[in-house]
Amino acid sequence: MSQDGPLLALHGVSFAYGSTPVLHDLSGEGAGRVLAVLGENGAGKTTLLRLLCSQSVPGSGWLEVAGWDSRNRRGVRDYRARLGVVPQRLDLASSFTCEDVLRYACWLKRVPTARSRDVVATSLARFNLSDRARSKVSTLSGGMRQRLVLAQAVVNDPDVVVLDEPTVGLDPKQRVELRGYLAEMSQSCLVVLATHLVEDVAALADHVLMLEDGRVGHWGDLRSFCESAGVAVAEGATGAGPSGTELEAAFLRRAADRGVDS
Amino acid sequence: MSGSAPPREGPRWTAWPRVLLTEAVHGVPLLVGILVVAVSLLVTAPQRGFPPVWSNTLYYGTFVVVFVAPLVAGGAAVLSQQRLRRGWLEWAASTPRGARSVLTTGTAAVILWGVLALLAGFCTVLLSRPPGGAPTPAGLLLPLTATTMVVAAGLLGGWLGSLTTNPLLGPALALATFGVPNLAFYLRVDNAERAWALWLEPFPLDFSYTAVTEPNAPRWVVVLTGLLAAAVVLALVLRGRDRTAIVLGVGLLGLTVIATTQVDGSEVVRYQAAPTDPVCGTSADIAVCVWPSEQADLPVLVDAVDQVHDAAVPVLAQVPTTFVQPGLDLTTVPASAVPPGLVELFAPYDATTAAGAAISAVLPPPPCENDDTAIAEYSRVGSLVALRAGYGDATEDPDLATTIGLPDGAQRQWVTQRLDAAARACA
């Protein structure tokens, strides 16, 4: 990505729903290629993602994502044109075909009409849905639907893709398949992923943003996350990062240190 | 990754019609569409018994809006609620077009079906009874108002649906959109002084003027067209911003209020078109002339008018002997000493309906139309004639019940007193 600033930076970001504070003075920067946002239920993951998706505005502080400064509201449309989102819940119209869904996404994202036909075909092929182009959403399996949701997120060739619990409800085979697509996506854009599943983090992420009660508990690469919890990371033959077991141990230890019953 | 917005090639608006079409042929919009078109065809198909002039064609063709608008309002509300529940707003909120785009496009698809239903109703009437002559510019008020109502109903439903997921909203809104104007209509009919009832009547049942009349309100056509154009221009200026739908909705609702509260019956005049060949039927005492299209129903009408005429002659000073449907060229109908009575007759052509039209035709013109006392006295004369002709019920008016038992001379005196009282009240 050609830009001057960091991929992601938070500057004293706070947010509250009415009188209920959710995020407290979040600061830090850096993201790697895949940033996993971790935290217990209610830690503020979804709220942070809403801020990253420009759906909400920080109560105080600001954030920078891929060159967009949240204080620049006039630039929000251009930022959204470079953004892909996979919401936690998106029930696509069951009577739409896969092509209809992607064409609709092209319209939402202002993909030029002249390009939309090629974009739809390319996106279907990228997520192995070409043979289901004319199939209605109601006839797709859970895994195919999730691939279609991923496909709609990238029709605009985004610089940033934000995913909220993308593997929830998928069986193990579908999860592995989905991770493959996400890994491929991360080659061309920043992927921000909120998840409960440590195995997803181990397989995909290179950085972790741990939220604890609306505060930054840790922000860094996976190794530093484990080390911050006192979990030693075994050196693999390939020099890979921490394993899922090690990450899970680090996650549980941090929770235990804070007195949280996981 | 480029780090900048993708280039915009070609006009951005070209994709919208295709998206709108996709919306229209799926899910809730499609269901609403099938329903409103079916209702429109069912309501307009049996329409008959009116002179085939443009004012009537436009009236009957667009009257279906009283059924279409509630369905559009309810359907748009249900669609917005569905999108709210299914996460579409959250999805669209992170796109350049914003959250409201999925609401406005869905609502537009429902509205599109509503307008198509109006068009279907209009075409049904147009093809079943091709009108003579050409529509006047003032006649455009009807389709303009009806279209405005459908758009306003859709925007209202779409907006309310985005505020709550309560499943009762859609049915309740449809019922209210249908029921409130009905209630207002009956309040207004029962008591002409209840002007506030007009404000409850966003979908007037009678469009404030009746069939076989032509709206003489060109200035309102200009005003409504101008406001509509202004709303559209404003929407184009604000295109893509969150305020677009709100501004357009408020503007159209304002148009509806103006159209339904300001264009009233005093603005109408009789349609002046003249056919070349009226068809007449006669009995021993009377002649009835109708439009050629009504020829098949002429015998029923002649019998009813004859019966009412015989009942009216002993008690009224002057009773027409020639009765015509509005819009006929009077030089071509049989001459009579008394000006012809106008028979405004609508389907169905049964004896009771025909008698009701005949009673109105035999009475002298009302002295005025805006005084309750005068209207009441005048109506009692009509009730007496109806009783004499074998129609109606006198149990709710003891005076009338007594009068009907008196000799013809006394009844004639009673009628004169009633008409004098009406004239005094008007004065």
Provide the ipTM.
0.87
Measured in angstroms, the CA of B165 and the nearest CA of chain A are apart by: 15
Q: What is the pLDDT of residue B167?
A: 92
Residues of B in contact with A112 (CB under 8 A): 6-10, 12
Please provide the distance, in angstroms rounded to a whole number, between the alpha carbons at the two ends of chain A: 38
Looking at chain B, which residue has its C-alpha nearest residue A94? B27
CB contact A113 to B (< 8 Å): yes
Residue B215: burial class (beta carbons within 10 Å; 0-12, 13-18, 19+): buried
Q: pLDDT by residue for chain A (262 residues), tens digit each?
A: 444 445 889 999 999 998 899 999 999 887 778 999 988 888 889 999 999 999 999 999 999 998 899 998 888 989 999 999 999 888 888 899 999 999 999 999 999 888 888 999 999 999 999 999 999 999 998 889 989 999 999 999 999 999 998 888 788 888 888 888 888 888 888 999 998 788 888 888 889 998 988 999 888 888 888 888 887 777 764 556 787 788 888 888 887 777 655 4
Answer yes or no: do B94 and A103 touch at CB < 8 A.
Answer: no
> Which residue in A3, A108, A111 is closest to B101 by CB distance?
A108
Question: Which amino acid, B81?
Answer: Q
Chain B segment 14-43 residues within 8 A of A by beta carbon are 14-16, 18-19, 22, 26-27, 30
- In this prediction, the residues of chain B whose per-residue pLDDT falls under 50 are 1-5, 7-11, 13, 202-216, 261-274, 276, 347-348
pTM confidence score: 0.71
Q: What is the pLDDT of residue B64?
A: 83
Q: What is the pLDDT of residue A227?
A: 84
Answer yes or no: do A55 and B4 touch at CB < 8 A.
Answer: no
Q: What is the pLDDT of residue B10?
A: 43
Query: Are residues B178 and B70 in contact, defined by beta-carbon separation less than 8 angstroms?
Result: yes
Q: What is the pLDDT of residue B114?
A: 95
Residues of A in contact with B21 (CB under 8 A): none
Of all helices (H) and strands (E), which one includes residue A62? strand A60-65
Alpha-carbon distance of B94 to B317, in angstroms, equals 79
B331 contact partners, CB below 8 Å, separation of at least 6: none
Residues of B in contact with A159 (CB under 8 A): 1-3
Tens-digit pLDDT profile for residues B28-39: 999 999 999 999
- φ/ψ of B53, rounded to 5, equals -110, 165
Show the tokens assigned to B3: 């780090």
Measured in angstroms, the CA of A160 and the nearest CA of chain B are apart by: 9
The interaxial angle of helices B243-262 and B141-161, nearest 10 deg, is 140
Q: What is the pLDDT of residue A5?
A: 46
Q: What is the pLDDT of residue A1?
A: 47
Q: What is the pLDDT of residue B117?
A: 95
> Which residue in B8, B30, B85 is closest to A110 by CB distance?
B8
Tens-digit pLDDT profile for residues B247-290: 666 666 666 555 554 444 433 333 444 454 678 888 888 888 87
Q: What is the pLDDT of residue B212?
A: 38
Query: Pick from B182, B270, B256, B211: which is nearest to B59 by CA?
Result: B211
Measured in angstroms, the CA of A83 and the nearest CA of chain B are apart by: 7
Answer yes or no: do B96 and A93 touch at CB < 8 A.
Answer: no
CB contact A78 to B (< 8 Å): yes
b/e sequence A12-51, b meaning 16+ C-beta within 10 Å: ebebeeeeeebbbebebeebbbbbbbbbbeebbbbbbbbb
A15: which strand partners? A23
Measured in angstroms, the CA of A261 and the nearest CA of chain B are apart by: 31
| A-B Cβ pairs (cutoff 8 Å, strict) | 115
Tens-digit pLDDT profile for residues B60-109: 777 788 889 899 999 999 999 999 999 899 899 999 998 888 998 999 99
> Which residue in B3, B19, B27 is closest to A67 by CB distance?
B3
CB contact B7 to A (< 8 Å): yes
Show the tokens assigned to A167: 């593997």
CB contact A33 to B (< 8 Å): no
- Which of B1, B22, B90 to substitute to test the interface with A, most A CBs within 10 Å? B1
Answer yes or no: do B94 and A162 touch at CB < 8 A.
Answer: yes
Which residue matches tokens 């569409």?
B33
Encode chain B in three state secondary structure: CCCCCCCCCCCHHHHHHHHHHHHHCCHHHHHHHHHHHHHHHHHHCCCCCCCCEHHHHHHHHHCCHHHHHHHHHHHHHHHHHHHHHCCHHHHHHCCCCCCHHHHHHHHHHHHHHHHHHHHHHHHHHHHHCCCECCCCHHHHHHHHHHHHHHHHHHHHHHHHHCCCCCCCHHHHHHHHHHHHHHHHHHHHHHCCCCCHHHHCCCCCCCCCCCCCEEECCHHHHHHHHHHHHHHHHHHHHCCCCCHHHHHHHHHHHHHHHHHHHHCCHHHEEECCCCCCCCEEEECCCCEEEECHHHHHHHHHHHHHHHHHHHHHCCCCCCCCCEEECCCCCHHHCCCCCCCCEECCCCCCCCHHHHHHHHHHHHCCCCCCCCCHHHHHHHHHHHHHHHHHCCCCCCCCCHHHHHHCCCCHHHHHHHHHHHHHHHHHHHC
Question: Which amino acid, B255?
Answer: L
CB contact A218 to B (< 8 Å): no
Q: What is the pLDDT of residue B2?
A: 42
Question: Which amino acid, A95?
Answer: S
